[in-house]
Structure 1
């Protein structure tokens, strides 16, 4: 008789897989992809290293999944900000601020998602999610052009530039090798430091889309 997996066993396997993912996410959030190792994930999850490999064929596969989960959370936050009330420029400002503030409140994970050198498979996920951000921005820019609140422009190109500008401008502050007076001992920015960092970034981004100085 062929072996048939029971529903209880399927649920158990799904629970273990989810626990491994959650612990891998925790390890990346604390030390980045470079410092997160399979044996560390296994220890935190309370499973054997071999169990991790039964659920994920390789370290790259596991961390590509962690990247997808982490980045989707950020994309969803940006989409939520863009979907709120207000003019196109107000919604763009809100979304840019959301992106930057969340990044600076969680600098280790933000650095991992934005700029940390990663395996090609994970880098592919990074490019895919940059496109996802750009698509959300493009939609709102297009709406602004239609309603006359934004000047005529290539909405897709402008959206791509917004994503590049907001991400690239945060690379220096987020970099673990960049020791600046803005970083406190805990490696986390306070609200005053965050505002000082992001206001000129947002002004630059909005000026590029609206053609007006703030």
Structure 2
């Protein structure tokens, strides 16, 4: 008789996989991919190390899934800001501000998503999501050009420049500052000034108008 997996067994496997993902996510949020050791994830999830490899063929596959989950959350926030009824420039300002402020509130995870050295599989995810961010910005920029709120420009190139500018602007403030690799966001006032500076630079580049 062929083996048939029961619904109860499928539910248990799904729950175990979710625990593994949740615990791995927390390890990355607390210390980056560099500190998310499989043995620690397994201990936190209450499973054997081998169990993790029954759900994920490798550490790289697990990390790629964590990267997708974390980045999708952030991209959804940007998409929400770009989908409001405000004018295009205001929507872009809100989206860029949202990106920068959320990154500075969670510097360790943000550094992991933006700039932490990672294996090729995770780096491929990073490049794919940078492209996805650019597509969201490109759509808004095209709308602004059509409405006359933005000057004529190559929307594709402008959107790519936006993603690069905001990501690179945050690398320094997010990078591990302590010898133990811990990270701290700037003080509130410095954070406000940093975000305003990044957003002002990006919007001036799009509009050609000093703000």
Scaled to the shorter chain, the TM-score interval is over 0.9
SS class of match (2:32): helix
Give 1:1-214 correspondences, 5 Å limit.
Answer: 1-177=1-177, 187-214=184-211
Q: Deviations over 1:97-124 (max 9, x none)?
A: 0000000000000000000000000000
Q: Is the 8 A contact 1:30 1:109 kept in 2?
A: yes
Q: Is the 8 A contact 2:29 2:108 kept in 1?
A: yes
Q: Deviations over 1:105-148 (max 9, x none)?
A: 00000000000000000000000000000000000000000000
Q: How many aligned residue pairs are there?
A: 209
Matches of 1:44 and 1:27, distance apart in 2 = 9
Q: Is the 8 A contact 1:77 1:98 kept in 2?
A: yes
Matches of 2:59 and 2:122, distance apart in 1 = 11
Q: Is the 8 A contact 2:107 2:183 kept in 1?
A: no
Cα shift at 1:186:
7.4
Cα shift at 1:178:
7.2
Q: Is the 8 A contact 1:172 1:178 kept in 2?
A: no
Gaps of 5+ in 1: 180-184
Gaps of 5+ in 2: none
Q: Is the 8 A contact 1:33 1:63 kept in 2?
A: yes
TM-score (norm 2): 0.96
Matches of 2:183 and 2:41, distance apart in 1 = 23
SS class of match (2:60): helix
Matches of 2:26 and 2:61, distance apart in 1 = 16
Q: Deviations over 1:43-101 (max 9, x none)?
A: 11111111111111110000000000000001100000000121111000000000000
